Amino acid sequence: MNEIALSLVLLSPFVAIAVLLATSTRWCLVLATAPVLAAALMVPVGSTLELGWLLLGVHFTLDATGQLFLVFSSLVWLVAGIYAAASPADPRARQGFELLFLLTLAGNLILILAADMVTFYVGFALMGLAGYGMVIGRRSQRARRAGHIYIAFTLVGELALFSALLILVAAADSRLFADLSGITLPPVAVGLLLLGFGIKVALPGLHLWLPSAYTAAPIVAVAVLSGPMMKAGLLGWLRFLPAEADGLMEWGPVLMLLGAAGLVLGVWLGLVQREPRAVLAYSSIAKMGLITALFGGALKSPAEAAPVAAALVLFAMHHLLVKSALFLGVGEWEKRGRARWVMAGLGLLALTMIGAPLTGGALVKQGLGTAIAGDFGVLSALLTLSAIGTALLMARFMWLLTRKVVRPTLTDSIPAAAWLVLLPVAFLGPFTPFVITLEVAGMLPLGVFLLGLAGMSWLNARWPGLWARGRSGDALTALNRVLQHARRRLPTPQIQYGRLQVALIRPETLPAPQGTLAGPGLLWLALFLGLLAATLLPH
Amino acid sequence: MSLSNSLPLLILLSSLLPGLAIFLLREESFRLRTALNLFGASVKLILVGVMIWGVFHEQVYETRWTLAPGLDLVLHADALSVLFVSLSTLLWLVTTVYAIGYLEDSPHRSRFFGFFSLCVTATVGLALAGNLFTFVVFYEFLTLATYPLVAHKGTPEAIRGARIYLAYTLAGGMALLIGAVWLRTLAGPLDFVQGGILGGMDHLDPWTLRWIFLLLIVGLGVKAALVPLHGWLPQAMVAPAPVSALLHAVAVVKAGAFGIVRVVYDVYGVEFAASLGVLALLGAAAAVTIIYGSVKALSQDNLKKRLAYSTVSQVSYIALGTAILGPLATVGGMVHLVHQGVMKITLFFAAGNYAEALGVHRVSEMDGVGRRMPGTTLAFTIGALGMIGIPPVAGFVSKWYLGLGAAESGAALWVLPVLVGSSLLNAAYFLPILYRAWFGQPPAKWPGGHTHAGRWEINQALLWPPLLTAGLALAAGLFAAAPYSPLEWARLIAEREYSL
Amino acid sequence: MNNLLALPVVLPLLGSLLALVWPRRADWAGLGASVAAFVAAGHIGAEVMRNATLELAVGGWAPGLGIALRADGLSASLLLMSTLVALAAGLYATTYFAEAQKRADFWPLWLLMITALHALLLSGDLFNIYVTLELLGLAAVALAALGGSRAALQAAVRYLTVGLLGSLAFLTGVGLIYAGYGTLDMVMLAGRVDAEPATWVALALMTAGLLIKSALFPMHFWLPSAHANAPAPVSAALSALVVKAAFYLVLRLWLDVFDVALSQASAGLLGLLGASAVIWGSWQAYRAERLKLLAAYSTVAQIGYLFLFIPVLLATEPGEARDLLFGALVLFALTHGFSKSAFFLGAGVILHRAGHDRIAELGGTARALPVTTFVLALAGIALIGLPPSGTFLAKWQLMTSAIAAGQWLWIPVIAIGTLLAGAYVFRVLGHAFGPGEGVGPSLAWARAELPALLLALVATAVLGLGAAQVWTMVVPGSNAEGVSL
């Protein structure tokens, strides 16, 4: 019975694809997601499904962590599905968007339920690659560029994961996650995992794809990218780096350092953005930095890892909901302008995001604070830092929303309704809906948030335009500019090989590389191969 | 005259006889020719089915014919040969259907299909060869049977491409011949035996064996397009699309790779070859080829040329799998023999369709072909994704086992970067095509091609073969662990090869 | 029963006379004699397979006194080839020579040549051999001149001169032998020969004469023009049979009669000459502008291969290994006979149709003359030495033995020669597959094309797949099995 339910979850996107191809109705998006949510709530933890004949032999299981991921992810997918199905289609984006949406969903579900590494990878790859089609949904120049960067990073991430997987499977002599706990994870594999999932969770340096994708993609795509898809990276870490495995303690500080860097970077760069979406994007980077650091802390002290990890998952789930809801709200804002209820809804979401009192955000943060109350001094500091940073970012976000004038274009009711349904769930956090906590700690970010808003208004009145001058560009743009500059300045080598050249190199050799993938792709190839070589060399 | 010693011969004859009969047919007798072709292909398929069942149940099938004292032409079925035979039989059937559609109303069809059948006969002979001598015989025969196919169009470029093809393959064949003769004088009849035959012969000088290995690999490497012996392959793409498909997926290139597998596993024995140190050489050549082919493919605008360089790269996965010691890498190499065939034939079918229906030969002309020809482009997409190694298409399974074998044997240091680099490069030259095809803006007018009236995007004989092979590529990945899948068969081979 | 041996000699002679006295029915007489000779040769072959060696003392005189006819595996197999090639080429000639007068001229000479050749193959006596050799040469010259063109006549005259020189040298050698040993019967001689200067001189003279006749490099100069300018069926016989006859004698003398008097160095010299012939002939064939000239140079090269066998043979210990190699040698000679005659007949068809045989202008041949192109391809495969032809097996065995004997030099020679052969054959085929109208409209010409196809098929398929029979015939007691179905 449970097997049937699990297969139902996994099959529903594919059934929906069949319906889509047969009827091209857009409501298949809902058809795919609704049963998943229902099943997610009903299937008992511990259900398993084994399909020995599929791929290399596929194992699915629903554990407690997986169930949390499944419930929250499918909720977001459902709302996003309704949102997308009801929004009038952009004629350019029309073709294939639904198909890729469903494939991405399928990938996400597979990876959440996967009990073995290969299945996880299959889901991860499917999700990442199909996500490309969602990123370029609008086909604008900007979306295409974002798509190219996204796909280059995704591919590198997937191949890093693939390589890590091979090493892990060879080391564990098993593909099951369960068998990873007992072995010493090879450092190469751990490094590759950091790279592979680091791209998805946007660790500093690996985040370059994120701002452009979040600002250029259709809002539905961004909602799922920032919610379920981004959290898949965290799930990856939880699955592949079980705290019980040997040899991971040294990696704790590395992750903490990277996470802290991400936090600082996200807040810093987020504050100077002038697009609401970009602010949210950097806020995601900051939040994932915090999550990474906390995960690093859990790895560092395996003994206390379990409660930290549990609290961390709840925290992440809350962020998943809120960030997706925020983006969908931005979508409404982009369509309707500063309608009062939109602004109110977004304000509420911002409050829960910063963990203001009486919100779900406060609750999960409190849980997290309790879990790391032990000897995690650094982490507590980071938590506080994150609270202040997030509050500032949200202030910036809200301020930008109020400043910017958007001419209302479309006024569909169903997407808005879907968003409004999601809103209270996200605000309260569905964990313990009736517990109301009034906590002093929650007052700090609220204060910072309000102060920030006031400060920004004041600054803007004093020096008009100062805060609006931030740019939404990213490091990649800057890098490109530097490279182009260098290319113009450096002389092109003109060596005459004479006959040797004729003999060795055929005339058609290497014209300008094809496709816009080549720039970032080659750069990353070099970087990645260098890394791989460097990590492998000591062996 | 029991089944056990006539089955291999019958399988050979099932394409040889129709081929010879077709030569005698008039150009106009379209129906009879088609019937002969399909009849032969179907009979072969059935016979191969019997053989698969038998080999799985450890039946022995062997036809032996003494050509000269001490020189036997041996056709023998073992797990490895069955893998290759079933691949070529199945794809022959599909390609025949495709070719019938593709060559509709073009001249010299009798000649074409005659040689087409001979080409498959040679391939099947290679697959079933039971000793090195027989292998050499069919290896040369294959060269001969494919030459007219490459030259088929009769244009100066086609003649030139065929001449280059011939120059490479004849020279390679000579190297193989010398190596085989040399080894024969030292080691007696070179029957293919699982686990190799040379390992037990202590009296042989290791350096002699190394030189012979080099000769053999050079000879086989020409057809397998190992760098720097690959020069003919991009030139040979002037052939008609079905020929390219067959050349790249089943016949010539695969024959070389298959030969390498045979030499390493069943003549030298993989462990003995490793102890001689020659596997490192092979591995290095394969690694260089994989990367080089991908890099060259990046800069090709001609679609078929890009696919040709992709073949250069992909086929070396088989050699790579062979060069890594250990059963898992063996599985990877073997299974790629099938997977690459199915995927690459899909790509060439699709390329042929674009040229035929739209006159599109270049990547830069492919904007929006997906909207005009969704079925073909779907097949192309599956093939391309498989080549990159994206699950669940078959290519992923190959790469997985290759990588796992490398990790297991400690060769990860150089194999993983090669695999990863090649996958990235594959993505870099395939994904822009897919992007153009699906997301590009179709031009107001296509460059040319034959307009096809009807409810399908193209003649059905051209549409279904790529869809079918794409389906197979998908199925081979998706149901990799199911019984009788290529993967399971490759595992069986590895088990018998390493006597696990 | 051994009277059988006389038939291959008598029947063509009879046919020749009939054709001479009854020119109107020359075709029937000639073909009838050819068929009869072929049947007789077939019987002889079967007998030899069963009994190893056949002998016939004509008129009942003991060997050494009368005319002895002898057939062992070598001569029987060559005899079989000769009758089959003669039959096919004769059939071809009936349609190749359009005018009845030409055919009436052709048949008597042709059958005389065949008679001489068969007599040579079956003779066991050096003097008879000299006579048949002379007769063969004269008939061949007359046939070569049959083309009637100025070039053909010049070539024929040169052929005549050279042939006479060769015969003279041979005769001198024979005389010395008779003076020294008092017998010319080869079997008896073999028992008496000593390694002494007179023997060496005699052997050298005979061999030199035969080398000229077999056109071994560098004495090949006369061959290309003679073979290329003769009418196609004659070219076929000249290249396939006449040259082979001289080589047959070399083989007989060196292996059967004078083996004790030989040194490895002399064999090595022959091998070197053969190697040079392989390279030079193949290269010249590759450069040839005309199809028949190409074929003629290809003969120079192929003769070279035959001589390559000799040093390897002599370096191989008698026994199984040597028998294997010897069988390969015969196989090579046979395959070349069939393939080269097929090639010449095919070239003749093209020449006849197009009015020229310039290779560069052969475009469109594959379309207009598919069967002929196929013949050229099949024959070409055998010339290159690709499977499934007999040449392939022979080369395989030659290389095996060369490696076993440590004579590594021949390996690259064979490799280069094979590749060059591939180059010249496929140069022709490349042009034939190319575009053009060089040979006119498509017209089947079954009576010319089918004999050629038959010969080509024998060279490529029959001798390849049934090669084991050659060993059975040549090597007494070899137990090569047939198909084990």
Contact list in B for residue C386 (CB cut-off 8 A) is 140-141, 143-144, 173
Calculated CA dihedral for residues B487, B491, B492, B494, nearest 10 degrees: 140
Rounded Cα gap, residues A369 and A444, in angstroms = 14
Rounded Cα gap, residues B215 and B209, in angstroms = 10
Q: What is the pLDDT along chain A (539 residues), one digit of tens a residue?
A: 678 888 888 899 999 989 888 887 888 888 888 888 888 888 888 888 888 888 888 899 998 889 889 988 999 999 999 888 887 766 655 557 888 899 999 999 999 999 999 999 999 999 999 998 888 876 788 888 888 889 989 999 999 999 999 989 988 888 898 888 878 888 888 999 999 999 999 998 888 889 888 988 888 999 999 999 999 999 999 999 887 777 788 888 899 999 999 999 899 888 888 888 999 999 999 999 999 999 998 888 888 888 888 888 888 998 999 999 999 999 888 888 888 888 888 998 998 888 887 788 888 888 888 887 766 678 888 888 898 899 999 998 998 888 877 777 766 788 888 888 887 777 776 555 445 555 556 677 788 888 888 887 777 777 766 555 444 455 566 566 666 666 565 544 333 333 333 333 333 333 333 333 344 445 444 544 554 454 444 44
What confidence tens digit (pLDDT) does each residue in C397-430 have?
A: 999 999 999 999 999 999 999 999 999 999 998 8
C485 → closest Cβ in B1, B69, B159: B1
Q: Looking at the domain assignment, is residue B468 inside a domain?
A: yes
Question: Mutating which of B6, B62, B71, B182 best tests the C interface, going by the most C Cβ atoms within 10 A?
Answer: B71
C378 pLDDT more than 90:
yes
Q: Percentage of chain B with pLDDT > 90?
A: 57
Q: What is the DSSP letter of A303?
A: G
Residue B390, classed as helix, strand or coil, is: coil
Query: ipTM of this model?
Result: 0.90
Residue carrying the six token digits 């059905």: B460
Residue C314, classed as helix, strand or coil, is: helix
C457 pLDDT more than 90:
yes
pLDDT for C432: 87
Phi, psi of C82, rounded to the nearest 5 degrees? -60, -45
pLDDT for B391: 86
pLDDT for A375: 62
Point out the least confidently predicted range of A180-189, C11-20, C239-248: A180-189
Q: What is the DSSP letter of C194?
A: -
pLDDT for A326: 93
Are the C-beta atoms of B51 and B11 separated by less than 8 Å? Answer: yes
Query: For B162-201, b where at least 16 C-beta lie within 10 A, e where not — what string?
Result: bbbbbbbbbbbbbbbbbbbbbbbebbeebbbbbbbbbbee
List chain C domain ranges: 276-477
Position B417, amino acid: P
Rounded Cα gap, residues C79 and C39, in angstroms = 11
Q: Looking at the domain assignment, is residue B137 inside a domain?
A: no
- Is the Cα torsion angle B366, B372, B376, B382 positive or negative in sign? positive
Residue C11: band (very low, low, confident or very high) from pLDDT cuts 50, 70, 90: very high
Q: Looking at the domain assignment, is residue B346 inside a domain?
A: yes
Residue C65, classed as helix, strand or coil, is: coil
Residue of B474, B237, B235 whose CA lies nearest to B355: B237
Using CB atoms and an 8 Å cut-off, which of residues 370-389 of chain C contact chain B? 370, 374, 381, 384, 386-388
Query: Within 10 A of A434 (CB to CB), how many other CB atoms are there?
Result: 5
Considering only residues B163 and C440, tell me which one the structure prediction assigns the higher pLDDT.
B163
Residue of C216, C234, C74 whose CA lies nearest to C139: C234
Position B105, amino acid: D
Tokens for B304? 């078929």
Subunits in contact with chain A (3 or more CB pairs closer than 8 Å): B
Under the phi-then-psi rule, with left for phi > 0, alpha for psi from -120 to 50, and beta for the rest, what region is B182?
alpha
Q: Looking at the domain assignment, is residue B406 inside a domain?
A: yes
Rounded Cα gap, residues A205 and A153, in angstroms = 11
Q: Total domain count for chain B?
A: 1
pLDDT for C442: 64
Using CB atoms and an 8 Å cut-off, which of residues 401-460 of chain B contact chain A? 403-404, 406-408, 412-413, 416-417, 419-421, 423-425, 427-429, 431-432, 435, 438-439
Q: Looking at the domain assignment, is residue B420 inside a domain?
A: yes
Q: Looking at the domain assignment, is residue B374 inside a domain?
A: yes
The parent domain of residue B445 ranges over 331-500
What confidence tens digit (pLDDT) does each residue in B484-498 have?
A: 889 999 998 888 888
Beta-ladder partners of A61? A48
CB distance C367–B171 less than 8 Å? no
Beta-ladder partners of C68? C57
What confidence tens digit (pLDDT) does each residue in C17-35 have?
A: 999 998 888 889 999 999 9
CB distance B424–A525 less than 8 Å? yes
Q: How many CB pairs under 8 A join B and C?
A: 112
What confidence tens digit (pLDDT) does each residue in B426-480 have?
A: 999 999 999 999 888 888 888 876 666 677 888 888 999 999 999 999 999 999 9
CB distance A129–B391 less than 8 Å? no
Cis geometry, peptide bond prior to residue C218 (ω within 30 degrees of 0): yes
Q: What is the mean pLDDT of residues B292-302?
A: 91
- Is the Cα torsion angle A32, A33, A37, A38 positive or negative in sign? negative
> Number of C-alpha atoms within 13 angstroms, CB side, residue A481?
6
Whether B393 contacts chain A with CB within 8 A = no
CB distance C435–B67 less than 8 Å? no
What confidence tens digit (pLDDT) does each residue in B202-232 have?
A: 788 889 999 999 999 999 999 999 988 998 9
Question: Mutating which of B416, B429, B434, B441 best tests the A interface, going by the most A Cβ atoms within 10 A?
Answer: B416
Rounded Cα gap, residues B115 and B122, in angstroms = 10
Q: What is the mean pLDDT of residues C2-23?
A: 89
pLDDT for A399: 87
Rounded Cα gap, residues B236 and B231, in angstroms = 9
CB distance B68–C386 less than 8 Å? no
Q: Looking at the domain assignment, is residue B233 inside a domain?
A: no
Rounded Cα gap, residues A113 and A111, in angstroms = 5
Subunits in contact with chain C (3 or more CB pairs closer than 8 Å): B
Residue of A338, A455, A331 whose CA lies nearest to A402: A338
End-to-end CA distance of chain C: give it in Å, rounded: 34
Question: Mutating which of B404, B430, B434, B488 best tests the A interface, going by the most A Cβ atoms within 10 A?
Answer: B404
B166 → closest Cβ in C367, C426, C482: C426
Contact list in B for residue A518 (CB cut-off 8 A) is 298, 428
Contact list in C for residue B166 (CB cut-off 8 A) is 422, 426
Q: What is the mean pLDDT of residues C236-249?
A: 93
Point out the least confidently predicted range of A296-310, B284-298, B376-390, C464-478: C464-478
Residue C438: band (very low, low, confident or very high) from pLDDT cuts 50, 70, 90: low
Residue A184, classed as helix, strand or coil, is: strand
pLDDT for C62: 63
CB distance C386–B108 less than 8 Å? no
pLDDT for A243: 79
Closest CA–CA distance from residue B291 to any residue of chain C (Å): 31
CB distance C485–B140 less than 8 Å? no
Considering only residues B336 and B413, tell me which one the structure prediction assigns the higher pLDDT.
B336
Point out the least confidently predicted range of A500-514, C260-274, C461-475: A500-514
Helix (H) or strand (E) segment spanning residue A537: none
Closest CA–CA distance from residue A176 to any residue of chain B (Å): 15
Rounded Cα gap, residues C107 and C96, in angstroms = 13
Residue of C357, C373, C113 whose CA lies nearest to C234: C113
